[in-house]
Amino acid sequence: MAALHTTNPFELFWQDLPLPPGSTRPPLSEFEVECLMRDRVSLVDGRSNRIVHRDGIVLLTSHRIIWHCQSQSRALHGHLSRVAEARTSRNIFKPSTRVHLYLQGKVQDLDNRPATKIEFAHGGRDEFLKQVRSLLMMRDWEKPPPVKLRLSPCAIEADGSTPASMPSFSPASPVQTVEPVFTTRLAGVGGILRQQETARAAQDRLATEAFADLEALMGKAREVVGVIERYATVLASKDKGEGEKGGSEAEGGTARDDAELQGLLLNMGISNPVTRVSAGSLYHQELARQLARFLAGGSTAAGALGRRSLLSERGGMMTLHDVFCLFNRARGTALISPEDLLDACETLELLQLGMRLRRFPSGVSVVEAMDFSEERVGARLRALAEAEADGSLTALDVATHLRVSIALAQEFLGTAEAQGLLCRDQSVQGTLFWPNRFPAWVAQAGEGNNGAS
């Protein structure tokens, strides 16, 4: 489709985006941020005004417009840098649900310039337009990746202690990796000190400039992130060093709290939190998917490192309160309300995301991994009972084997009993559960009778 010498803006702008096998979601690059998502959006050829691709999901990122259609497993994308202007039709007599994208090129008469169009027949056009315009202003793709500022670890000491007190850094620390042109000014202890002084000055300048106001922060954000991330790495390596020395228990308290908080924040960042504005009518669905990915540990650093998922670390079950806290933490400032969380949790099972909402008779609500589903637990309990030395189970046995609480173990046993897999034997010593052999006996007895007659 993408002919080399075409002048049709549609073909110039939209390019095929190969999806990774097994994925329905286009991959994003490192600094790309998801901004907006709308469903039932069609792509229109601006020249012929005909719909070329109908009813897909459009995803606007800080760098690109991506259109994909799950049923056709097809995706197209166009880079925002090629867009000169985005607007709606100027014809006030012909209301339209389309956004016109004008491509970069020779300046011509605006209204006769060919455009490629995106149709929002089911709403969402204005939000899209607003967001595209703001992204075109920001031109995020032009910003350099976080600069490796010439910062020595000493210069970014939190307490501003003197460099001389920092002998613990290995030769691999950043100050050595940056190799400035050698002059005598940079030689010796004096040189190192001078270098550190320069770095610290640069950083102070950055702090003052970047935090002057919101606009300034937008412009300098990536630089600041660079500095801070480096700082975090240094801090982490320092902590590790202290840990090896045995650590000082006396500090404890707040310091440990802070460290925990920081660890939590670093480990569980969701860089593209789904929001009501970004996902529109897809909101609760997308939120449920993001939540499932988060709990399964897929998108987190913990998951990437091959550790157990968040949910299985907590026994395959988490109260909604804990989920509310950890999920919101990972989302940073884009909090979701308890109502939205509840809605998303109710969608989990429907979307077959491997977990679901479960409500206990006591009113406690949890998200549980699907391997806690009733049939599976019933079968597991029966197998467990058969494997026991005396052939029976107590709630305590179940609690120890499945690593769940006793209250939950009791409920599991009750469920298995209701399924006819286990039988209750109540005595002074408590309640024992045995594998239910009655159906087998009945069947056997039936066969015997048949044989006799």
Partner 1 sequence: MATFKESLEDFARKHKKDINANPVLRAEFNKMCAGIGVDPLASNKGFWAQLLGVGDFYYELAVQIIEICLFTRSLNGGLICLSDLTQRVQKRRKVDKISTEDIKIAINKVHLLGAGFSLLQSGKTTLVVSVPTELSSDHAAILQMAQASDSHVTVGELVQKLQWVEKRVRLALDLMMQAGMAWLDAQGADGPREVYWFPSLWEEGLCQTQRDRGTGQGGREEGDNRSPG
The residue within the footprint of partner 1, chosen from 262, 281, 312, 392 (CB under 8 A), is 262
Nearest distance in Å: CB 333, partner 1: 5
HSE-CB at 17 with a 13 A cutoff on CA atoms is 24
198 binds partner 1 per the rule CB under 8 A: no
295 binds partner 1 per the rule CB under 8 A: no
Stretch that binds partner 1, among 13-21, 38-46, 183-191, 215-223 (CB under 8 A): 215-223
Nearest distance in Å: CB 325, partner 1: 4
Distance CA 192, CA 186 (A): 6
The residue within the footprint of partner 1, chosen from 1, 110, 178, 228 (CB under 8 A), is 228
Nearest distance in Å: CB 11, partner 1: 29
The residue within the footprint of partner 1, chosen from 97, 116, 195, 272 (CB under 8 A), is 272
The residue within the footprint of partner 1, chosen from 39, 45, 157, 286 (CB under 8 A), is 157
Distance CA 266, CA 143 (A): 24
User: What's the one-letter identity of residue 354?
Assistant: G
Question: Hey, is 146 helix, strand or coil?
Answer: coil
Pattern of binders to partner 1 over 351-370, x per CB under 8 A? --------xx-xxxxx----
The residue within the footprint of partner 1, chosen from 48, 162, 165, 208 (CB under 8 A), is 208
Distance CA 92, CA 94 (A): 5
- The owner of tokens 């897929």 is 298
Nearest distance in Å: CB 263, partner 1: 10
332/448 with CB nearer partner 1: 332
**From the CB of residue 442, how many other CB atoms can be counted at a distance below 10 Å?**
10
User: What's the one-letter identity of residue 19?
Assistant: L
The residue within the footprint of partner 1, chosen from 429, 449, 450, 453 (CB under 8 A), is 429
Find the binding residues for partner 1 in span 330-349 (CB under 8 A): 332-335, 337-339, 341-342
255 binds partner 1 per the rule CB under 8 A: no
For the stretch 87-102, what's the b/e string if a residue is b when 16 or more beta carbons lie within 10 angstroms of its beta carbon?
Answer: eebeeeeeeebbbbbb
Spatial CB neighbours of 32, under 8 Å, sequence gap ≥ 6: 61, 62, 63, 64
49/333 with CB nearer partner 1: 333
Stretch that binds partner 1, among 40-48, 121-129, 218-226, 371-379 (CB under 8 A): 218-226
Across the strands, what pairs with 102?
Answer: 85, 115
Tell me how far CA of residue 425 lies from CA of 35, 50, 144, 413, 438, in angstroms: 59, 73, 71, 12, 14
Residue 367 has φ and ψ, to the nearest 5°, of -95, 130
271 binds partner 1 per the rule CB under 8 A: yes
Nearest distance in Å: CB 279, partner 1: 11
Nearest distance in Å: CB 402, partner 1: 11
CB contact at 8 A, 416 and 381: yes
Find the binding residues for partner 1 in span 388-427 (CB under 8 A): 394-396, 399-400, 404-408, 410-411
Nearest distance in Å: CB 203, partner 1: 8
- The owner of tokens 């308890």 is 338
44/344 with CB nearer partner 1: 344
The residue within the footprint of partner 1, chosen from 328, 347, 377, 393 (CB under 8 A), is 328
136 binds partner 1 per the rule CB under 8 A: no
Q: What is the DSSP string of 392-423?
A: -B-HHHHHHHHT--HHHHHHHHHHHHHTTSEE
**Residues binding partner 1: number (CB under 8 A):** 89
55/343 with CB nearer partner 1: 343
Nearest distance in Å: CB 404, partner 1: 8
Stretch that binds partner 1, among 103-111, 151-159, 302-310, 379-387 (CB under 8 A): 151-159
Spatial CB neighbours of 357, under 8 Å, sequence gap ≥ 6: 320, 342, 345, 346, 348, 349, 365, 366, 367
CB contact at 8 A, 403 and 315: yes
